């Protein structure tokens, strides 16, 4: 009996020492009499393990003539490949056309300027402008030109205070809030310091110019310290003859963290005189009335011919020099679109007055009330004034057109700062080319007349620039000419009151 007990104890010890034979779960046995969790493995009797060559064996093989030759061949091929790639890269760099250096651009060259001359009509006070900054920002404008905001009685020079805001327009706290929000959105703010803005002579009289200019200079320093981005003055030809003009220049154009704009207005002068003003006064930007005063296509082409080389100092507007809406001269929706396209593609900075983006109609001499909420459609089932609804839809369509032009100009180098070449002109139509280096090229063709116009496009021989046989329609105000269609460039026929923007690629 003792022997049987010893045998049983040995079996218990063996089971405890062999965990592989213990059940993984439960205490029962699996079918077939095996315990749960038991795994049977078949171990091969003769297992062969590859341990590789030893260091001594590797060194012995590596020193054989065959491996030595192989290593040299691979090394030579590596260096030949490396040298070949280097030579290929050098050839590509040498043969590739060099990029034309980008001209110096200031913030007022990078997008349109937006004038708000009557804050009450626009959105009531400076705080109202701040409230509409999100809407303004959608237009991709780079600067606001506000005012005049200062206090003065008509034709009374002794009442002039250029450093005090008219209480009906707002106060300095509202202006500071507007500046802060505008700057966060990348929009600069310029103050119009036209001294006698309600009188017949903006400088009161010839005898007052020097005295008033001294006050303008002091006001410019005052507002720039409060973070205003520039000032606008009237009648640049008169202002530049003042003995204090250099001091005003110094106050505005001194070394500031951000460059400030000295902007002047010039009216009733020729393109040549305007070019001379740019060269002699040192002004940063001149806004002229040339597009308004020159009605013929030939005259407008001559103006662009004279000023395109100074495009970073020239502002174009239709009515903007008089602080009026574009619609005073562009009296139909088609003409409004036409002149928007022309202003965005001319060599210079486009300047608009509030409401131009929707084709706001100006009636009489009073500033028109700005129209907001144009996206709001009539409620379902509500009575609809068909005339008012058609006007609302037209506002929406014109603003969409304006935004597409502003966006395109900001993206395309040829339109932003490209070279200009005249192509054709007549009494009521004109066409020109905008080109920059290896960027897309653009042909602009407009006809503001009441009859169809056929333009024969002719480009004088120019190194590196030539017209292809055809171009693609990028934008069109003519419903009969579809976008993305192809147009032959030898002759272009334009319907009355229509404009085309054509695009063709750089081909080297």
Q: Which residues of 460-475 are buried (b: 16+ CB within 10 A; e: fewer)?
A: eeeeeeebeeebebbb
Structure tokens at 494: 């334009």
Distance between CA atoms of residues 445 and 476, nearest Å: 10
User: Is the peptide bond preceding residue 148 cis, with omega within 30 degrees of 0?
Assistant: yes
Q: Return the higher-pLDDT residue of 270 and 23.
A: 270
- Kindly give, in sequence order, each residue whose CB lies less than 8 Å from that of residue 266, ignoring residues fewer than 6 positions away: 235, 236, 237, 273, 274, 277, 286, 287, 288, 289, 321
Which of 8-17, 251-260, 302-311 reaches the highest mean pLDDT? 302-311
From the list 364, 348, 344, the residue with the least C-alpha distance to 356 is 344
Q: What phi-psi label fits residue 444: left (phi over 0), alpha (psi between -120 and 50 degrees) or beta?
A: beta
C-alpha dist (Å) from residue 439 to 149, 159, 416, 418: 42, 54, 11, 9
Domains 107-411 and 421-504 share a fold: no
Identify the sign of the CA torsion 278, 283, 285, 288: negative
The tens digit of pLDDT for each residue in 145-168 reads 999 999 999 999 999 999 999 999
- Whether 399 contacts 409, CB under 8 Å: no
First to last CA, the chain: 109
Take residue 122 and report the two structure tokens written for it: 């626009």
Q: What's the confidence (pLDDT) of residue 462?
A: 82
Residue 77 in tokens: 């091929």
3-state secondary structure 266-322: ECCCCHHHHHHHHHHHCCCEEEECHHHHCCCHHHHHHHHHHHHHHHHHEEECCCHHH
- Report the sign of the C-alpha dihedral through residues 446, 449, 455, 457, in that order: negative
Which residue matches tokens 């001379």? 276
The pLDDT-based confidence of 100 (bands split at 50, 70, 90) is confident
For residue 314, CA distances in Å to 36, 74, 240, 463, 487 come to 93, 64, 16, 26, 31
Distances (CA, A) of 68 to 32, 53, 61, 164: 64, 18, 10, 91
Mapping DSSP to helix (H, G, I), strand (E, B) and coil, where does residue 502 land? strand
For the ranges 52-61, 272-281, 429-438, which has the lowest average pLDDT? Answer: 52-61
Two structure tokens written together for 275: 């070019």
Query: 6: buried, middle or exposed (CB in 10 Å: 19+, 13-18, 0-12)?
Result: exposed
Task: Using CA atoms of 220, 316, 420, 97 in order, give the dihedral in degrees to the nearest 10.
Answer: 50
Q: What's the CA gap between 19 and 122, in Å, rounded?
A: 89
pLDDT-derived band at 33, boundaries 50, 70, 90 = very low
Would the pLDDT of 340 be above 50?
A: yes
Please write the tens of the pLDDT for every residue from 365-406: 889 999 999 998 888 878 888 899 999 999 999 999 999 999
Are 130 and 181 spatial neighbours (Cβ–Cβ below 8 Å)? yes
Rg of the Cα trace of the chain? 39
Report the relative pairing of strands 349-353 and 314-316 from DSSP bridges: parallel
- Model pLDDT, residue 63: 74
Query: How far is residue 252 CA from its own chain's centroid?
Result: 25
Closest CA to 319 of 297, 341, 366, 287: 287
> Does the pLDDT of residue 289 top 60, yes or no?
yes
pTM of the model: 0.82
SS3 at position 238 = helix
pLDDT digits (tens, 9 = 90+) for 360-373: 998 888 899 999 99
The string over 91-126, giving b where at least 16 C-beta atoms fall within 10 Å of a residue's C-beta and e elsewhere, is eeeeeeeeeeeeeeebbbbbbbbbbbbbbebbbebb
CATH dotted code for 421-504 = 2.60.40.1180
- Residue 72, pLDDT score: 85
pLDDT-derived band at 416, boundaries 50, 70, 90: very high
Residues 6+ apart with CB under 8 A from 173: none
Give the whole-number percent of the chain exceeding pLDDT 90: 74
Window from 241-245, 254-258, 294-298 with minimum mean pLDDT: 254-258
- Residue 291 clears pLDDT 80, i.e. is over it: yes
DSSP 232: E
Q: What is the largest CA-CA distance in the chain?
A: 142
Between 27-36, 129-138, 340-349, the lowest mean confidence (pLDDT) is in 27-36
pLDDT category of residue 87 using cuts at 50, 70 and 90: confident
Q: Helices 245-253 and 209-225 meet at what angle, rounded to 10?
A: 10
pLDDT of residue 209 exceeding 60, the answer is yes
Residues 424 and 454 sit within 8 Å (Cβ to Cβ) = no
Q: Each residue of 164-177: pLDDT tens digit? A: 999 999 999 999 99
What is the token pair recorded at 50? 């590859």
85's CB contacts (< 8 A; 6+ apart) are none
Nearest to 414 by CA among 187, 97, 100, 107: 100
pLDDT the model gives residue 64: 81
Other CB atoms within 10 Å distance of the CB of residue 458: 11
CATH pick for 107-411 out of 3.40.50.12280, 3.90.226.10, 3.40.50.150, 3.20.20.80: 3.20.20.80
Average pLDDT over residues 118-142: 96
Domain boundaries, the chain: 107-411, 421-504
The sign one gets for the Cα dihedral 94, 100, 106, 111 is negative
Task: Give the angle 84-85-89 at the CA atoms, nearest 5°.
Answer: 120
pLDDT, one tens digit per residue, over 451-484 is 999 999 999 888 779 999 999 999 999 999 999 9
* DSSP assignments along 333-386, one per residue: HHHHHHHHHHHHHSSSEEEEETTTTTTPPP-TTSPPPPP--TT-PPPTT----H
């Amino acid at each position: 009996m003792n022997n049987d007990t010893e045998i049983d104890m040995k079996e218990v010890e063996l089971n405890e020492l062999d965990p592989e034979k213990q059940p993984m779960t439960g205490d029962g046995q699996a079918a077939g009499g095996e315990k749960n969790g038991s795994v049977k493995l078949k171990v091969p009797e003769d297992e062969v393990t590859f341990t590789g060559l030893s260091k001594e064996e590797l060194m012995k093989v590596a020193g054989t003539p065959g491996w030595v030759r192989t290593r040299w061949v691979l090394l030579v091929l590596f260096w030949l490949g490396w040298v070949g790639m280097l030579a290929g890269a050098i050839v590509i760099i040498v043969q590739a056309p060099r990029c034309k250096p980008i001209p110096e651009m200031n913030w007022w060259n990078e997008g349109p300027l937006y004038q708000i001359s009557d804050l009450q009509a626009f959105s009531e006070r400076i705080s109202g402008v701040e409230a509409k900054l999100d809407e303004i920002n959608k237009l991709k404008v780079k600067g606001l030109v506000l005012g005049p905001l200062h206090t003065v009685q008509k034709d009374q020079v002794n009442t002039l205070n250029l450093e005090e805001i008219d209480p009906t327009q707002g106060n300095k706290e509202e202006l500071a809030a507007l500046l802060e929000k505008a700057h966060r959105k990348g929009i600069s703010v310029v103050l119009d310091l036209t001294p006698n803005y309600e009188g017949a002579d903006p400088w009161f009289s010839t005898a007052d110019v020097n005295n008033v200019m001294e006050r303008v200079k002091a006001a410019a320093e005052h507002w720039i310290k409060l973070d205003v981005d520039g000032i606008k003055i009237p009648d640049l030809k008169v202002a530049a003859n003042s003995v204090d003009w250099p001091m005003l220049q110094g106050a505005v154009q001194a070394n500031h963290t951000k460059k400030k704009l000295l902007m002047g207005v010039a009216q009733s002068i020729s393109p040549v005189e305007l070019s001379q003003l740019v060269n002699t006064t040192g002004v940063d930007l001149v806004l002229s009335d040339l597009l308004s005063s020159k009605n013929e296509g030939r005259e407008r082409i001559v103006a662009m011919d004279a000023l395109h080389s100074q495009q970073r100092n020239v502002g174009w507007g239709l009515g903007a020099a008089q602080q009026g809406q574009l619609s005073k001269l562009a009296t139909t929706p088609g003409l409004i679109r036409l002149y928007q396209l022309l202003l965005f593609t001319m060599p210079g900075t486009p300047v608009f007055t509030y409401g131009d983006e929707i084709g706001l109609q100006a009636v009489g001499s009073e500033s028109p009330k700005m129209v907001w909420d144009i996206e709001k459609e009539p409620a379902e089932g509500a009575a609809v004034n068909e005339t008012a609804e058609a006007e609302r839809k037209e506002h929406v369509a014109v603003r969409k057109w304006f935004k597409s032009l502003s966006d395109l100009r900001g993206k395309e180098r040829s339109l932003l700062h490209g070279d200009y070449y005249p192509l054709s002109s007549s009494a009521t139509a004109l066409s020109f080319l905008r080109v920059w280096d290896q960027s897309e090229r653009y042909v602009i063709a407009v006809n503001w007349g009441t009859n169809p116009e056929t333009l024969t496009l002719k480009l004088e021989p120019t190194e590196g620039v030539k017209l292809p046989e055809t171009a693609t329609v990028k934008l069109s105000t003519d419903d009969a000419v579809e976008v993305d269609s192809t147009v032959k460039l030898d002759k272009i026929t334009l319907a009355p009151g229509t404009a085309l923007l054509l695009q063709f690629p750089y081909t080297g």
